[in-house]
Chains A and B, each alone.
Chain A
Amino acid sequence: MSVEAAEAFLKAWRPGPLMPRADARDGGLVFVIAVLCFFACLTALAALAGDRAAGGWTAQLRGSATVLVRPRGGESGDAAAARAAETLAGVKGVSEAAALEKDKALALLQPWLGPEALKEAQAGDLPIPRLVTLELDKDAPATAADLDRALKTQGIDAAVDDHSLWIKDIVRAGLWARAAALGLFALTALTAAAVIAFAARAALAARREIVEVLHVAGAQDRFIAGLLMRRFAGMAFVAGLIAAALAAGIGAAARLAGGGQGLTPVLPVAWIDLAALAPCPLLAALLAAFCARGAALRLLKEKA
């Protein structure tokens, strides 16, 4: 090498990596971390969509009530329902009250009675309960007790259903769904942590000669652990990026396929939900850094 060549070398020189960059096992590890991150991302998307669905249903149910009117004496069902609707329309917290027409009430009964019995009912042989549907004020909805009191005052025999039973069930189901999503997320993170720790120990064991040279040259354990930490954090960042991109693709497809309500009305995905995937690469890198460093320090201490 001439003097000029040596000078050119020194000018262009950048310190090489103290741990070898590429390894045949790296591809497999990136794949495993990417798959785990992908599951975590899908879990997060499902949790957000489920939360939104539960919120929507709850709001819908809270904003309405149904009143079952039973005609008394010689009063016809239509008359009783109309009277109930008129009474309830005047209650504070009710935006709109409407008696359900007889045909619509019969249609609701068809699944339970069957078409033949329905014909008999239409002929007038079967007493048909009549319904009044209410839309409640969103900010200050009337309570079931308010409605019941108003109906009793007018001497109307009726049962008020403010959907509270359903709301409780939906809220409970929403909580369970969130807890399940959190559990799955934690399980995925723990699995990723275990995989990374195992891989870090294997990587260190495979490079024990390098580690020995670094030690004899005066490297601290934390210096060596830092080399491994950066390497694994980099791999996990790439894996997290791939996983987040794939999950975002699936989320976008679900959003586009389902129009305004997402893929199905059951799990409505919103565009903003995709933003929740953005921290995935960083979180994966942080988890990998923490686990790789911890595993390396433990192994170096064991071998001391």
Chain B
Amino acid sequence: MTSDGEHDRAVDAPVLRFSDVSLRYGRQAETLREVSFDLEPGSFHFLTGPSGAGKSSLLKLVYRAQLPSRGRVTLFGQDLAALPRRELARVRRRIGVVFQDFRLLEHLNAFDNAALPLRIAGRRPKDYKTDVADLLAWVGLGSKLHAMPVTLSGGEKQRLAIARAVITKPDLLLADEPTGNVDADMAQRILRLFTELNRRGATVLIATHDQDLVARAAMPQLRLRDGQLDGVAVLAPGA
């Protein structure tokens, strides 16, 4: 039985918590140093900072492509380092990740790439066919359903990678430079998509150095500098 107090704590618990997290690759200097922050459910944050500040490394810690050298990363209330592999897969199904280098499966067409998380989740093709086609149409790839990634432009690949990340309507969306290869108009549409997902309850964390995007969204930023969190800033719209 769960008391009301416990229930409240579960509801209020941050989606993501970094507690004094440091990350070191091999014998190199620490890429991240004693980073601590919480992302509350339904929040929208940008992760900003210059190249090499540790933005991508921080995201890798969230989807556990890396384990911290020190400190603790807690996702959906669970310590990622202590999570059994079977449970880790379940947790990952609640996350959508847009990789900076897209990581599309080159042997699958655009439709199959976008549908990948649904297949892994065990959904039946006839149940998701229309959803995938609609989403691809929405990101401007409605005419490229059968296209292989090698035939797509950088911007098209990026939109496909975004479609794959959001197709399951994840609880947490992580995006690494999601507007790096698209024009301003498409960047605006992608931001609208992320905002819409956020409005529906998803927590969003976007790593970017696109200050225009940050300014347009007017959402809080986690600023990284030399592997350390420099603070949280909120920009007013149009600032």
Contact = CB atoms under 8 A, between A and B. Distances in A.
- State whether these chains interact: yes
Given A1-B145, A9-B145, A18-B105, A217 B65 contact: no
Contact of B111 (A9, A219, A304): A9
A219 B118 CA distance: 10
B133 A10 contact: yes
A116 B86 CA distance: 90
A220 B112 contact: no
A219 B86 CA distance: 9
Contact of B145 (A6, A20, A219, A301): A6
A304 B125 contact: no
B92 A218 contact: yes
B119 A218 contact: no
A244 B32 CA distance: 59
B89 A15 contact: no
Interface residues of A, number: 27
A140 interface: no
B109 interface: yes
Interface stretch (A85-93, A104-112, A205-213): A205-213
Contacts of A212: 65, 103
A114 interface: no
B107 interface: yes
B2 interface: no
Interface in A1-55: 1, 6, 9-10, 13-18, 20-21
A15 B117 contact: no
Given A210-B105, A213-B105, A216-B65, A15 B112 contact: yes
B116 A217 contact: yes
Contacts of A1: 142-146
B107 A17 contact: yes
A15 B125 contact: yes
Nearest to A301: B85
Contacts of B115: 15
Nearest to B103: A213
A137 interface: no
Contacts of B107: 16-17, 20-21
A134 B83 CA distance: 82
Q: Considering residues A20, A209, A213, A220, which has the most beta carbons from chain B within 10 angstroms of its beta carbon?
A: A213
A254 interface: no
A19 to B, nearest CB: 8
Contact of A213 (B116, B129, B142): B116
B138 to A, nearest CB: 13
B117 A218 contact: yes
Given A15-B125, A221-B85, A214 B133 contact: no
Given A1-B145, A218-B117, A219-B120, A10 B89 contact: no
A150 to B, nearest CB: 80
Nearest to B144: A1
Interface in B112-156: 112, 115-117, 119-121, 125, 129-130, 133, 137, 142-146
Given A6-B142, A218-B93, A220-B89, A18 B103 contact: no
Contacts of B129: 10, 13
Interface string A112-131: 00000000000000000000
A271 interface: no
A245 to B, nearest CB: 31
Interface of A: 1, 6, 9-10, 13-18, 20-21, 209-210, 212-221, 223, 301, 304
Interface of B: 63, 65, 85-86, 89-90, 92-93, 95, 97, 103, 105, 107-109, 111-112, 115-117, 119-121, 125, 129-130, 133, 137, 142-146, 164
The 10 closest A-B pairs by CB, nearest first: A218-B93, A1-B143, A20-B107, A218-B92, A16-B112, A217-B117, A220-B89, A16-B108, A219-B120, A213-B103
